[in-house]
Structure 1
Amino acid sequence: MRTRYIAVLSLITMGIGFITTLLLPDSTIVQLLKGGFEAGLVGGFADWFAVTALFRHPLGIPIPHTSLLLKNRDKIANSLISALNNELLNKESITQKLKQFQLLKVIGSSVTRLVRKRSNRVGALNLLQTLLTNLPLETIAPLIQKGITSTIRQTDVKPLAEKALHTAIQANWDERALDYALDQGRAWVSKPETGYMLGSIAQQKISEAKVGGIMGFAVQAFAGFMNEEKLGTMIQQLLLSGIQDLIQPGNENREKLIYEIRNQIQRMSDDEELLNRGKQWLIDKAEHSDSGEFLLKRLEDIRSSLLASLEKEKLSGGKKVVTAVKYIVRKLQAEKEMTESAEQKVLSFIVDSVEANHYRLGLLLKDNLDQLDDRELVRMLEEKVGGDLQWIRVNGALCGFIIGLILTSIQWI
């Protein structure tokens, strides 16, 4: 260590100077120099003793109050731990520093700078592709299937049925379903082949009717007068007229039909046995192996689609990544309340985590100190602060020399 050599050299210089003045003829200058070298030698030795006493026993002699660091290593370690826990890493200081840091703003600026480079964007897309490719869908799919089944088992279907009923009535889904069914029925009845089919059925049923007397004669006369086409056309007109009446809002029969539909739905929502059967049907479907295969295939399709999109985006240089990041940053800047709330939550989490675990840093510090033997500890401290301490010896010798000159001069006066 260079400073140690300088300190030793200063002490040797004072010693040689003092011995030299003893051998020179007595004169005023010699006496003055002798006083200076003598005081410098005493000061150099005193400071050497003081500096050495911090780390070890001077000359290996166990003089009291020496080797201070080794004798007090536990006190020093505990003091460092106490300072670390109570002063350097206390909640108030961490909170103040983090508030000045503006976490989300710094993160947003850093991410924006990163995505400006094409290589960073492509690298991020490559990372996403790798993560998606290595995603174990064969393991994830059964977990999702199990989660869906568990959710169905734990769900009380009666409140859901009641809520669905209320929503259906509020949104007029029952009327919409009825109108859809009537539209489809009108389209089916209007077809020529439907009229022919209805006429054929009516003709057959009339011929099969067993009615005697005058009524039978009238029926047979009607059947002989009407053919399949005429019967089909007549039935079509009757059905279309009835459907048209049901389609009209406010129609009495329509209101009765909607009322009956709602009553039937209400009964279904109150029928616990029916609801339980429906719930069990859903559970059986969710647990079936076909559902697992279907879910796995859908996940694989989603992954393939995402990988293709990422590859396409990578070929374009990841321009959409820049657009997405800028959009998110602008959105966060616009939503100041949401941003501040999120930042406070993040900061609170960090502060609470540090406060709850900062004692572990103290334990880590103590463990590391305990692993060092005395020789390693002294060597480490001398490497870190020994150089500055050696200057105390140099200053002691020089100050002693100057003070010796001054004191010798005072004696003359």
Structure 2
Amino acid sequence: MKSRYIAGISLAVMGAGFITTRWWLPDNAWTHLLESGFEAGLVGGIADWFAVTALFRHPMGIPIPHTSLLLKNRAKIVNSLISAMENELLNKESITRKLSGFQLFAGAASAATRLIGKRKFRLAAVDFAQSAVERLPLERVSSVLHGFLADYVKKQDFTPIVRKLADRFVHERWDERALDYGLEHVGHWIRKRETEEMLGKLAFKKLEELKVGGFMGFALQAFVGFMNEEKLGGLIQNMLLSTMQELSHPGSPHRQKLLLEVRAQAEKLADNEELMLKLKQLIEQGVDSVETERFIHLRLEELRQLVLDKLEEQHRSGGRAIVQGYRFATDYLSGKQEMLANWEEGIRGYLVRLIENNHYRIGALVRDNLERMDDKALVSMLEEKVGNDLQWIRVNGAICGFVVGVILSFF
């Protein structure tokens, strides 16, 4: 410490001056005057050195009574320090009073406005977001999501879901939409020339394969001889189209009967335990597959690239979205003063309760840290914090002793 060296130099100057004036300089009034000053300064410097040193350790290692005061009174000093912190410097009342007068949201809004107004800050925020998104371990994230999804599916009971879907299927008339959709697309298929030819060939072949005897067989053979594949296909095609047209009509009794059957079967789906078990097994197999994890990973990659593209746009525009988002938030919250006041009061109340419940931890933390320090470390810390000022006592003692000695020499 610089002050310690200065104090040592002051003591050395007094000692050298005393020796010089005592034995080397000629004997006259001026020499006696200086000798008295240096003598008194030497005594004062040595006395103050002893006093300052006695606070921290035994002077020259000699266990003189009433020295090394800090170590002998370590417990008292620690208790006094903790008491001062808890009851005077950091007491609960002062902290609570400070918090009560502190405008949390106003201070935060003021600081945020200053920061967001700086282009450099906005670009730094965008760069940080880009770096964070680029470093995301998507393989690990996709694996975690895949495992979470698999566990969720295994624990899920699909019976209520199927029952709810069946109820919605019936009440929102999805059955009619499904029937109309099917009739429309099947009708397009039936009207095709290829379909007519196929139906004719299949029907004609099956008629030839029939083995019917008696009058019925005679009538069937006559019918087959009269018909050919083209006529038979057209006949069946017209019959099917006519049937489908009738089923498409809302007032058709056959349509209503078909829909009633569809609804009845839909309502029974959830009660079919075997079907529910197979459905769950099928879903679990699909979720557990490697393709599902790869699908999740690919979607995450696409999402990351989309976010990076948006962030790059923001970098080129100087973080315009940050400003727009901040303005939107401030405009929205400006009309919610009562809500903000309630939030702020709630936060302050929480902080006050937190301080009241944990205030004792301040003293406990200080005590624990001090008790962890050995004597040498404690003395070094105190000397570092207050030793510099105490060393100036030695300098002042030597100088004051010199002045007092000179004055006393006149008497």
8 Å contact 2:154–2:284 — kept in the other structure? yes
Take 2:80 and 2:360, find their aligned partners in 1: how far apart are those partners?
Answer: 13
Deviation for aligned residue 1:269: 0.9
d(CA) in 1 for partners of 2:193, 2:186 = 14
Alignment of 1:156-175 (within 5 A): 156-175=157-176
> Match of 2:307, as an amino acid?
L
Offset at 1:319?
Answer: 1.7
Partner of 1:298: 299
2:78–2:370 contact (8 Å) kept in structure 1? yes
* Structure 1 segment 258-273 matched on structure 2, within 5 A: 258-273=259-274
Counterpart Cα distance in 1 of 2:137 and 2:74: 53
- Three-state SS of the structure 2 residue aligned to 1:317 is coil
Cα separation, partners in 2 of 1:353 and 1:210, compared to 1, 3 Å: farther
Are 1:233 and 2:234 counterparts?
A: yes
Query: 2:30: which partner in 1?
Result: none
Matched, 1:103 2:74: no
Q: Does 1:180 align with 2:184?
A: no
Aligned residue type for 1:154: K
Counting only pairs closer than 5 Å after superposition, residues 45-64 of structure 1 correspond to structure 2 as: none
Identity %: 39
Where does residue 205 of structure 1 map in the other structure?
Answer: 206
Superposed displacement of residue 358, structure 1? 4.7
Residue 148 of structure 1, CA deviation: 1.0
Measured after TM superposition, the shift of residue 136 of structure 1 is 1.4
Which deviates more, 133-142 or 265-274? 265-274
Deviation at 1:270, TM superposition (A): 1.5
> Corresponding residue for 1:150?
151
- Report if aligned partners of 2:122, 2:318 keep a CA contact under 8 Å in 1: yes
Distance 1:283 1:92 in 2: 60
Alpha-carbon distance in 2 for matches of 1:355, 1:116: 38
Q: Partner amino acid for 2:276?
A: L
Shift in alpha-carbon separation, 1:70–1:235, aligned structure 2, 3 A:
same
Q: Which residue of 2 aligns with 1:287?
A: 288
User: Residues 281-313 of structure 1, C-alpha deviation per residue, up to 9 Å, x if partnerless?
Assistant: 222222222322332222222222222222233
Which range is displaced more, 191-200 or 148-157? 191-200
Structure 2 equivalent of residue 246 of structure 1: 247
Equivalent in the alignment of 1:255 = 256
Q: Is the 8 A contact 2:56 2:69 kept in 1?
A: yes
Conserved? CA contact 1:77–1:369, under 8 Å: yes
CA contact (8 A) 1:55 1:378 kept: no
**Structure-2 residue corresponding to 1:32:** none
Letter of the 1:276 partner, please give it. L
Distance 1:338 1:171 in 2: 41
Does structure 2 conserve the Cα–Cα contact (< 8 Å) formed by 1:268 and 1:274? yes
Match in the other structure for 2:34:
none
Corresponding residue for residue 11 of structure 1: none
3-state SS of paired residue (1:284) = helix
Deviation (angstroms), 1:349 = 5.9
In the TM superposition, what are the counterparts of 1:1-400 in structure 2 within 5 Å? 73-82=74-83, 84=85, 97-98=98-99, 100-334=101-335, 357-370=358-371, 371=373, 375-376=379-380, 379=383, 382=386
In 1, the alpha carbon distance for the partners of 2:94 and 2:272 equals 63
Q: Does the CA-based 8 Å contact 2:167-2:267 persist in structure 1?
A: no
CA drift of 1:150 comes to: 1.1
CA contact (8 A) 1:90 1:355 kept: no
* 1: CA distance, partners of 2:177 / 2:92: 61
Whole-Å Cα distance in 2 between the matches of residues 83 and 197 of structure 1? 102
2:185 is aligned with what amino acid? Q
Shift in CA distance, 149/85, structure 1 to aligned 2, threshold 3 Å = farther
Relative to structure 1, the CA distance from residue 328 to residue 203 in structure 2 (aligned partners, 3 Å threshold; closer, same or farther) is farther
**Displacement, 1:147?**
1.0
* Partner Cα separation in structure 1 for residue 342 and residue 277 of structure 2: 44
In 1, the alpha carbon distance for the partners of 2:342 and 2:177 equals 44
- Equivalent-residue separation in structure 1 for 2:156 and 2:236 (angstroms): 49
Distance 2:304 2:142 in 1: 13
Residues 87 and 207 (structure 1), Cα distance of their counterparts in 2 relative to 1, 3 Å cut: farther
| One-letter amino acid of the counterpart of residue 248, structure 2 | I
Deviations 1:236-290 (A, max 9, x none): 3332332233333353323322322232233221123322222222222222223
TM-score, structure 2 as length reference: 0.67
Shift of 1:115: 2.7
Q: Secondary structure at the match of 1:135?
A: coil
* 8 Å contact kept, 1:186–1:240: yes
CA distance in 2, matches of 1:321, 1:306: 14
**Comparing 223-232 with 339-348, which one deviates more in the overlay?**
339-348
Structure 1 unaligned segments of length 5 or more: list them.
Answer: 6-47, 394-413
Equivalent residues of 2:196, 2:233 under 8 A apart: yes
Aligned pairs, number: 351
Cα distance change on mapping 1:76 and 1:146 into 2, 3 Å: same
Q: TM-score, normalised by structure 1?
A: 0.66
CA distance in 1, matches of 2:275, 2:295: 27
The root-mean-square deviation of aligned C-alpha atoms, in Å, is 4.6
Question: 1:144, CA displacement in angstroms?
Answer: 1.4
Residue in structure 1 matched with residue 39 of structure 2 by the alignment: none
Q: Name structure 2 gaps, 5 residues minimum.
A: 8-47, 398-411
Amino acid at match of 1:302: L
